[in-house]
């Protein structure tokens, strides 16, 4: 970003990535009459976490912090775990931001022109990334351009720069917390069914789509028990 683009920006902007990686580590499988517990409730960890976000909210209210952007957050983490910051809006499926969570085709075309001497390699590499890393659609009810998975594409490009051969079928990617996965599988048959659906293919080899109309944008730990 050039200095001219930054010239009109004033104040503090807070960017938080993988926000839910921390709270996911404190989820437990233990069941009580009230449902699942969270290990940090009424602990120094929980109080510190809530205090941080309550302070952030206060500074934003006073316009000291102009904007706060939080990515890598699940609806579970929005459901009361950090109620010190209850002024956020879920913009995950906002059409204006549909391209924010990935790379566009033009992004990759520009990158490939910089690293490839042979135009034929550019076309081949882009075709591979399109086949394996494209298709993410972050908008409900409207058609927008799909985006590529950022991490897998960057790993692919780095591998090509180093002269290696990328693993297209099973690339390295961000991992979901094992505690969170274990809790989902143990407590929610519907979560297991969704995972099984994601792995099935129809007769033409295409993945069987989810019934997105049935997805809930907000839920609690208790809702995971079926």
Phi, psi angle pair for 15, to nearest 5°? -115, 120
Residue pointed to by tokens 């997105």: 212
Helix axes 150-161, 119-133, angle to 10 degrees: 150
**Quick check: helix, strand or coil at residue 121?**
helix
Domain residue limits at 90? 3-97
| Alpha-carbon dihedral sign for residues 101, 102, 106, 112 | positive
* 202 Cβ neighbours under 8 A, 6+ residues apart: 208
Given this model, what pLDDT does residue 193 score? 73
pLDDT band, very low/low/confident/very high, at 127 (cuts 50, 70, 90): very high
Residue 169 lies in a domain: no
Question: Are residue 16 and residue 87 in the same domain, yes or no?
Answer: yes
Q: Long-range contact list for 124-133, CB < 8 A, 24+ apart?
A: 125/156, 125/160, 128/156, 128/166, 128/168, 129/153, 129/156, 130/105, 131/168, 132/168, 132/169, 132/171, 133/171
Measured distance CA(223)–CA(43) in Å, rounded: 24
Residue 110 has pLDDT above 90, yes or no: yes
pLDDT band, very low/low/confident/very high, at 138 (cuts 50, 70, 90): confident
**pLDDT single digits (tens) 144-188:** 888 998 889 999 999 999 999 888 877 766 556 666 666 666 666
**Which of 51, 74, 97 marks a domain boundary?**
97
Question: Are residue 140 and residue 193 in the same domain, yes or no?
Answer: no
When comparing pLDDT for 98 and 42, which is higher? 98
When comparing pLDDT for 63 and 217, which is higher? 63
Helix residue ranges per DSSP H, 62-170: 105-115, 119-133, 150-161
Residue 126 has pLDDT above 70, yes or no: yes
Residue 83 lies in a domain: yes
When comparing pLDDT for 214 and 124, which is higher? 124
Given this model, what pLDDT does residue 153 score? 93
Closest CA to 183 of 128, 155, 225, 137: 225
Residue 81 has pLDDT above 60, yes or no: no
Query: Of the ranges 30-39, 45-54, 74-83, 185-194, which one carries the lowest mean pLDDT score?
Result: 30-39
Question: Are residue 134 and residue 214 in the same domain, yes or no?
Answer: no
- Residues facing 207 on adjacent strands: 201
Average pLDDT, integer, range 31-54 = 68
Residue pointed to by tokens 């490009």: 157
Given this model, what pLDDT does residue 48 score? 82
Question: Are residue 118 and residue 140 in the same domain, yes or no?
Answer: yes
Given this model, what pLDDT does residue 30 score? 47
Query: Of the ranges 4-13, 65-74, 149-158, which one carries the lowest mean pLDDT score?
Result: 4-13
- Residues facing 38 on adjacent strands: 27
């Amino acid at each position: 970003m050039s200095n001219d683009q930054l010239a009109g920006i004033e104040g503090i902007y807070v960017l938080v990535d993988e926000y839910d990686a921390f709270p996911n580590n404190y989820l437990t499988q233990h069941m009580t009459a009230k449902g699942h517990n969270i290990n940090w409730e009424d602990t120094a960890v929980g109080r510190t976490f809530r205090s941080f976000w309550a302070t952030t909210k206060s500074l934003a209210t006073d316009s000291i912090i102009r904007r706060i952007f939080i990515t890598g957050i699940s609806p579970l983490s929005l459901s009361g775990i950090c109620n010190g910051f209850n002024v956020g809006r879920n913009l995950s499926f906002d059409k204006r931001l549909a391209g924010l969570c990935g790379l566009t085709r033009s992004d990759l075309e520009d990158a490939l022109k910089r690293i490839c001497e042979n135009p034929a390699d550019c076309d081949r590499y882009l075709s591979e990334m399109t086949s394996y890393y494209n298709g993410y659609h972050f908008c409900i009810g409207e058609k927008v351009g799909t985006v590529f998975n950022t991490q897998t594409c960057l790993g692919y490009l780095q591998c090509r720069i180093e002269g290696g051969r990328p693993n297209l079928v099973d690339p390295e990617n961000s991992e979901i917390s094992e505690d969170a996965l274990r809790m989902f599988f143990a407590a929610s048959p519907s979560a297991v069914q969704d995972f099984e659906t994601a792995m099935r293919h129809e007769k033409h080899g295409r993945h069987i789509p989810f019934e997105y109309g049935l997805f809930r944008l907000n839920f609690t730990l208790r809702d995971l028990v079926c």
